[in-house]
Structure 1
Amino acid sequence: MAQPGGAKDSLLLQLNTAKEDTAKIRLLLKVQNVYANKNYDSFYYYLSQAEALSQKLRTDWFDFYINAGYSEYYYYNNDYKKAIAYAQAGRDVAEKQNDLKLLAKSYNNLAAVYNRFGNHKYAINCILKCLDISEKTKDSISFPVRNLTASVTYYNLLQFDKAIVYAKKAYEFGKLFKNDFAIAMGLNNLSASYSQLNRLDSAIIISEQQLAFAKEQEDAVNTGYALINLCYDHFRMGNNAALASYADELTYYNRSLPDSQIIGSIRNAFALNLISQRRYDAAKIQLDSGINISLYMNNADALENLYQTGAILFYLQGKIKEGSYYAFKYDSIIRAANIKELNFYTEELETKYQTTKKENQIKLHQAQLKQQSALNYFLLACAAGLLMISVLTYRNYKHRKKLQQAKIDELETEKLLTATEAVLKGEEQERSRLAKDLHDGLGGMLSGIKHSLSSMKENLIMTPDNAQAFERSIDLLNSSITEMRRVAHNMMPETLVKYGLDTALKDFCAEITGSGAAKVNYQSIDMNATAISQTASVSVYRVAQELVNNAIKHGNASEVLVQLHLHQQEKLLALTVEDNGRGFDVNSLEVSKGIGWKNIQSRVDFLKGKLDIQSAQGKGTSVMIEINT
């Protein structure tokens, strides 16, 4: 926690005369904490001195606090890998020492790092463990910060009612234990949660309380947070005078903020103030600056707000195309956050679980193989005088070893297929989610804009030139809606989910033919006889898509035949794609680095199917795939 100036001076005086012992390490860590949220260069300087002295004295007593300090330093310098590595090292130290209070603190630190870098599901797991241990140890002095972290976590999970409950607890415990940081940040989280629930009057009152407290404590970071929140909420309230006042005050504090992540949010607050004054060009300059800084700092939260403000800026000027661009960028940030969360959690855990399971089975068989080898060697030694018995024993050993190795190879293959399945499922799930987001989110927004423009047209008197420009804008918007729907349909065709593979392929071929790119004929035989699994249907559909696109794009084909045949007796599904294109040398696929053929091969391997390619220069291409149903 930040210390008053007098306490800092006193600690520095003590440090000048301190001996090279463990007491000096404690003193260095106290001085380091003085600079938290104020000057992280000085913070790092005293922390590294504490680490060097600890290593010199060969003591591990302070390892937890040193790791926690480095985690905090890299946390504020936006280095996720180092921040999480030091936080995990601190947890390992706490577990080794069997210190439950330190273990609770380590889980709080891990939750804080996961929160900052977007891994919210890991964060909630860590903070719930932290709160559980804190309750068991009755470590009440830690309750302010622990509840504060819980508030941040639930806020990031968009559970604002729970965020308010824990923010209030952090604030009350902060007052009880005189924890200034928990008081200020508790107020900050309360204000932000009320704002998200559109309770703007409450949000503004809390932010003003936070601002007064932060100024009293000379806390530049929380002063900046409070001013930014006040600018945002007064803009939404339409109170331009208050907005201008807080933006001017924020200009002063902008020079002394140690947390570089906040700069993009400050630029956004300045832009909102300029928009309220209709100084649109100046607002655009602030937005561009904030976006460039936030992209460099990889600050997705700030970028989300900046793109939203950009959409507002251009819509207010009647520049629909530019406003739609920023609205799309805002939507892209939301989608990117979901993808990031998926990469952090769902696919990683599912794949890791299946892979670990197969690896354990492999290790078990390898152990059995070693035991069998030892037994066979023992039998050979005992039967040294009997050549025939020795030969038979050796052959028996080789045979068993071959069987065990075959089992190991089979499990290795299953492990790769499991990983491939997880990747393919994740890809199709993400395609489906993105298609839904595009159709329901961006599609709804564009349709709403179209409706608004059409309504405006009825109530405006325009010159013929302006009317013509207005009509062109509506036509452009119609084209954008059509293109968005085409992209969404291509990502995950609705007919594939609702009506199955046969109908989806028929629609796909008809769509290609209708576009004029090539004439694609589709034939299906006995496809109504047996239901095909969703996983197999998606994979076969993607393979057919890739083969038809290759025929048109790379083979320059004018006619393509797609045939789907279900052999009931053999329980075999056959997909054939033939074209009249220029063909190619099949042997070139062995050295090809194209992603398309690799994707086709991966999907066929995943379905345990067979792939046969026939082609030659100038003679077209024929590809047949057989899959067991």
Structure 2
Amino acid sequence: MFAAAMLQLLSGFWGGRVLVVWGVLLLLLPRLTHAQRSIDSLRQALRATPADTEQVKTALRLSTALAATDTAQARLVAAQALRQSKRLGYTYGQAHSWLQLSALHLIGHRFRPARQAAGRAGQVAAPLLRQAPGSLRVRRLLAGIANNLGSAADQQGRVAAATRYYLQAAGYLEGTPETAVLLTVYSNLGRNFQLLRQPEQATRYWRRAVAAGGSASRPELLPAYLQLAAWHLQQQHPDSALYLLQLARTLRPESSLYAGEYYGALGQYYLFQQEPERAYPALQRAATYATRKGDPAYQARLLFSLGQMEAQLGNTSKAVELLRNSLQLLQGLHDMEQEAAVLTALGRVAEANSQYQAALGYVRRSQSLRDSLAATTVRQQVNQLETQYRTRQQTQQLRQLRQQQQAQQLAFRQQRRLTTVYLLLAVVLGAAVLLALGLLRHRRRLARQQQELQQQRIRQLEQEQELRAAQAVLQGQEEERRRVARDLHDGLGGMLSTVKLYLGTLRSRHPLPAPATELLGQSVEHLDSSISELRRVARNLMPEALLALGLAQAVQDFCDALRRAGQVQLELHLHGLDTRLPPTIETGVYRIVQELLNNVVKHARASHILVQLMRHDALLHVVVEDDGQGFDPTLASSGVGLRNLQARAEQMGGQLTFESEINQGTTATLTLLLSAADAAPQSFSLTSS
């Protein structure tokens, strides 16, 4: 019973915490670990380094090293790095300093300044991505910013926004060799699904974090191991939890940012095994590490549980001391639910020691907090305590007040009777008039609603007819393109090849005069050019790769052709397109990408193009970004080409948007939510007609 009660109290320890900073603080930590520098040596290096960008990097390394033990000092050093970066005009240093401050605020549960600092980091880092879209360190920086914004949104209860930020962070890093921040993002997604009571999804992301780590010796795996261990304890699987804690132990948690969480999870395991004598020192060590790190919320929860254990063991004075310390920490955190739990525990300890007046005070304070949380059970306990301490004098005063109230009610009833007699006729007449008006209005409203419903049905039918007509037109266009491409390739292409063969045979078998030979050679060269142009036109009408190999290969071939033309530098990123999509979806997306790239090459005067096709489950995301001359979307929205592209996207159930400014480039984004049938793997024939 003792172990079960303690486990219930501790079940919220890890689940209520956010993994926010592990991957972010590791942006500089690998170099620090490799050099084996102590905090003192970093301070000496900071004083000796000239006031340049190297001094900013040294300050950020020192802030990272201090984060696990002294977050207040770490914030001062990060603020120093920010000031120096601004003086030097060092943009990357500014963004990194803001990100470091955001992570440190999250450790201390200061979520509003954390969100503001992450937003400033994103504003500073945005130009860096446009300048170097393929830079790994810029993508790692943007992933850390998105992760911290997601963590802050989590604490504000905006789960959907947090999930979008986490997916954005994963999109920056998936497919790259950088996994430190990616492990943190997967851990945070697992925690979100745990809070949403979807344990299967939560464990899937935690296990994905372990798989992404690749090696059990990587320190970034520590948060995922601890989360999985806590989940296995909740599922009554202590052996699996012990195995994960042993893996976590090999990562030297004492020197990490999550030393307190490790010993907290170890204490949960010992309580589950009914070993309170081993659980108590583990929880004490967890509280010590939480104090060093400057995490008052976690420290308050640990002190609360230690106080509960002391109360169970009969150590009243020690229990009261621990519970009061927990209450003092909670008063500055606005965690009313936990604060009410501590006050309730203090009230029970006082009541068990016959200190009824103190118990009443604690329970009243707890009731005030729980009233704000719509709790009714504590209010009943307070009423019971007030009944026990109510004196005879208070009872007499209450009786007198009730008698006065009864006399006033009698006078009011007499006055109401007189008023009712005079107003009865007026009320009846007024009610009849109101009833008639109400019936008339109700009939008019019903008629208007029926008319609106009919008009709405008519509009829906018209829209459906327009959509079917547009789909039929597009399907007919694609079929006609396929037929024309086949006729050109098989018919006219075959005839031209035969003519070339005849001319070659004529030149080899029948010697001709020199002028005739030269003219014949020029004719063969022009014939080769015509065959190549014919094949290019046929491929543009309907690429064979799209039919045989799918969307990814067709886009790859088209981008390779643009690269070979040498007009522009083009970078292509493909993710999640291993399985085929329905032919209509693949054809529609390919046509949109083809038209967007042709427009960039013809009109944008761009030197670099970035193309991204990413698929996450049922969400297909396509981005075409260039650094060209741009345009005003408000003025170009009436263009026929853009309207046709947007209409094609809407007919597939998607949305195509444009973001552009004059001389600032253009970003076209296609978002398509696939249906269950579209998202399922498709089977295709490898031959095309």
Specify the structure having the higher radius of gyration (Cα).
Answer: 2
Relative contact order higher in (CA < 8 Å, ≥ 6 apart): 2
Q: TM-score, normalised by structure 1?
A: 0.49
| TM-score, structure 2 as length reference | 0.45
